[in-house]
Amino acid sequence: MPFIPHTEPDVREMLAAIGVEAIDELFDEIAPELRTGQLDAIPEGLPEMAVTRLMHERARAEGDMLCMTGAGAYPHHIPQAIWQLVGRGEYYSAYTPYQAEASQGTLQVTYEFQSMMAALTATEVANASLYDGASALGEATLMAVRANRKAKSKRILLPRSVHPRYRAVAGTVVGNQGLELVELPLDVETGRTPLESVDSAGAEGAAAVVVPQPNFPGCLEDVDALVDRAHAAGALVIAVVNPTSLALLRPPGEWGERGADIVVGEGQPLGIPLSAGGPYFGFLCTRKAMARQMPGRVVGRTVDTQGRTGYVMTLRAREQDIRRSKATSNICTNQGLMVTAATLYMALMGAEGLERVARHSHAGAVALRAALAELDGVEPVFDGPLFHEFAVRLDGPPVAEVLDGLAARGILGGFALEPDYPELGNSLLLCTTELHTEADRAAYVKALRELVAG
């Protein structure tokens, strides 16, 4: 029997010890009319070798494309050591470290992760992860409403330049809690959030203003000015950042006079495979003074009865298993194994490696934008500074057709912006990372030239 070790004598003797004749008697408290009949829609079980063959067939049907699409999920090199270690049973098959003394591995890894994330974002503390970047933004808006006791409203200013899916998820998460998400416009000339919109949309009295960097269309916001305006109006600032970019760009803890108050983002670029969209992990960092308002688990350092250093889950009185309906969030299971991978990634890359990744990603995008600007019928939508993504507008064939054409040439060729941003017209969001070579970029330019020229 798959995964069940019982022999016939085992079953017989166990039933005798219980005092029943058959396993089915153990279900005799369940009304007979509720019992399940045949489960016809479920196939017969397969041995491992057959399921292996099946999954290899399914995998082959996926193909293998050159990926130039980012839009919230980024292909990066993942050192081999990471997933070999993450796959160790001691990490893979352990659970939440409720028994701290028997979970020092997971707990110390989490503590190191929190240390690395705090360093990267230039903040004081980090939690042990949320589901993904988008749900982390939703949780951050709820946290801001709890933390900003002076705010007269539950209003959150949310720029249009934030990832459309993040805005959608934040809407789902907070929809029934009376929060008001007010959209800030996108300046179609600069690709940035207009500074004055922060005031005109009602920062005064708002609980928080969200500031993305880089923003979804690939531009760099004037973060200092946005943060200072928000703070002047009494609002907190929630930064949404790409962790790789922080090797090059100013960390949110240093934006403006006082820095962002809550920092969230998608952790996937830190050693997590694209994997069709998950599992990834969301990170959330903040000031120590606001740590008690954080959602999710947090690990702290302490000592044992002998004075030796050890680690435990702490600030537990925020969590649902203790506080029930008064918890800061309903989150229980988080993305622990992904955090283990990200910790290994940051340990192996270090500041030097992360900076190289960021520089290559950036340089590739700058070069590709310049090369595409030379093509007839293609123009960059914005000309300001970028990190590793940028938008181009196509004259002529609709983006959807061009993407199909690129796919036929084995290229996942970008993200169509028009459905979410009609104001940007027939345009496409592209991304490069350290994985892309000059030949990859040249192949993309060549393919696009053929398709746009028609």
Partner 1 sequence: MGLHETGKVIFDYGREGRAAGAQLPPPAPEPSDLPDTLRRRGRPALPEVSELQAVRHYTRLSQKNFSIDTNFYPLGSCTMKHNPRACNALAMLPQFLGRHPLAPPGAGQGFLACMHELQEILAEVTGMRRVSLAPAAGAQGEFAGVSMIRAYHDARGDHERTEILVPDAAHGTNPASAVMCGYRVRELPTDRNGDVDLDALRAAVGPQTAGIMLTNPSTVGVFERHISEIATIVHDAGGLLYYDGANLNAILGKVRPGDMGFDVIHLNLHKTFSTPHGGGGPGAGPVGVRETLLPYLPIPIVTHEGGRYRWLEEADCPHSIGRMTAFAGNAGVLLRAYVYIRMLGQEGMVRVGEYSTLNANYLMHRLQAEGFELAFPRRRASHEFIVTLKREHDAYGGTAMDFAKRMLDYGVHAPTMYFPLLVPECLLIEPTETETREEIDAFVDILVAIREEASRDPEILHEAPHTLPVRRLDEVRAAKELHLRWSPETG
Does the protein bind partner 1 through residue 330 (CB under 8 A)? yes
Per CB under 8 A, which of residues 384..443 are in contact with partner 1? Answer: 385, 403-404, 407, 412, 415, 434
Does the protein bind partner 1 through residue 196 (CB under 8 A)? no
**Alpha-carbon span 199 to 157, nearest angstrom:** 10
Out of 177, 376, 398, 446, point to the residue binding partner 1 (CB under 8 A).
Answer: 177
Out of 144, 211, 337, 391, point to the residue binding partner 1 (CB under 8 A).
Answer: 337
Out of 140, 260, 346, 391, point to the residue binding partner 1 (CB under 8 A).
Answer: 346
Per CB under 8 A, which of residues 15..54 are in contact with partner 1? Answer: 15, 17-19, 23-24, 26-31, 34-36, 38-48, 51-52, 54
Q: How far is the CB of 190 from partner 1 (least distance, A)?
A: 13
List the structure tokens of 120. 């990267």
Does the protein bind partner 1 through residue 324 (CB under 8 A)? yes
Q: How far is the CB of 446 from partner 1 (least distance, A)?
A: 20
**Alpha-carbon span 390 to 381, nearest angstrom:** 8
Q: How far is the CB of 130 from partner 1 (least distance, A)?
A: 9
List the structure tokens of 278. 């998950």
CA atoms 131, 134, 137, 139: torsion sign: negative
> Taking Cα atoms as reference points, which of 360, 379, 427, 40 lies closest to residue 217?
427
Q: How far is the CB of 395 from partner 1 (least distance, A)?
A: 23
Stretch that binds partner 1, among 154-162, 185-193, 218-226, 233-241 (CB under 8 A): 218-226
**Alpha-carbon span 251 to 291, nearest angstrom:** 19
Per CB under 8 A, which of residues 267..286 are in contact with partner 1? Answer: 273-281
Per CB under 8 A, which of residues 94..123 are in contact with partner 1? Answer: 94-106, 108-112, 114-116, 118-120, 122
**Alpha-carbon span 222 to 195, nearest angstrom:** 8
Which strand (E) or helix (H) includes residue 48? helix 48-60
Per CB under 8 A, which of residues 57..86 are in contact with partner 1? Answer: 57-65, 67, 69, 71-73, 75, 77, 79, 81, 83, 85
Stretch that binds partner 1, among 6-14, 144-152, 153-161, 438-446 (CB under 8 A): 6-14
First to last CA, the chain: 59
List the structure tokens of 205. 């009295």
Out of 152, 172, 395, 423, point to the residue binding partner 1 (CB under 8 A).
Answer: 172
Out of 158, 162, 201, 220, point to the residue binding partner 1 (CB under 8 A).
Answer: 220
Count of residues that bind partner 1 according to CB under 8 A: 203
Which C-beta is closer to partner 1: that of 353 or that of 425? 353
Which strand (E) or helix (H) includes residue 309? strand 309-313
Out of 151, 208, 238, 249, point to the residue binding partner 1 (CB under 8 A).
Answer: 249
> Taking Cα atoms as reference points, which of 340, 354, 347 lies closest to residue 84?
340
Which C-beta is closer to partner 1: that of 234 or that of 278? 278
Contact 283, 129 (CB under 8 A): yes
Q: 135 φ, ψ to 5°?
A: -70, -25
Q: How far is the CB of 204 from partner 1 (least distance, A)?
A: 26
Out of 140, 147, 166, 236, point to the residue binding partner 1 (CB under 8 A).
Answer: 166
DSSP 378: E
Which C-beta is closer to partner 1: that of 136 or that of 203? 136
Which C-beta is closer to partner 1: that of 188 or that of 322? 322
Which C-beta is closer to partner 1: that of 200 or that of 363? 363
Q: How far is the CB of 205 from partner 1 (least distance, A)?
A: 22
Stretch that binds partner 1, among 190-198, 229-237, 357-365, 374-382 (CB under 8 A): 357-365
Which C-beta is closer to partner 1: that of 234 or that of 248? 248
Contact 345, 79 (CB under 8 A): yes
Q: How far is the CB of 127 from partner 1 (least distance, A)?
A: 9
H-assigned helices in 148-243: 164-174, 195-200, 223-232
Q: Which CB contacts under 8 angstroms, 24+ apart, belong to 365-372?
A: 365/218, 365/389, 365/390, 365/430, 365/431, 365/432, 367/438, 367/441, 368/430, 368/432, 368/441, 368/444, 368/445, 371/441, 371/442, 371/445, 372/445, 372/448
Q: How many CB atoms lie within 10 A of CB 8?
A: 7
Residues 6+ apart with CB under 8 A from 136: 130, 264, 265, 266, 282, 283, 284
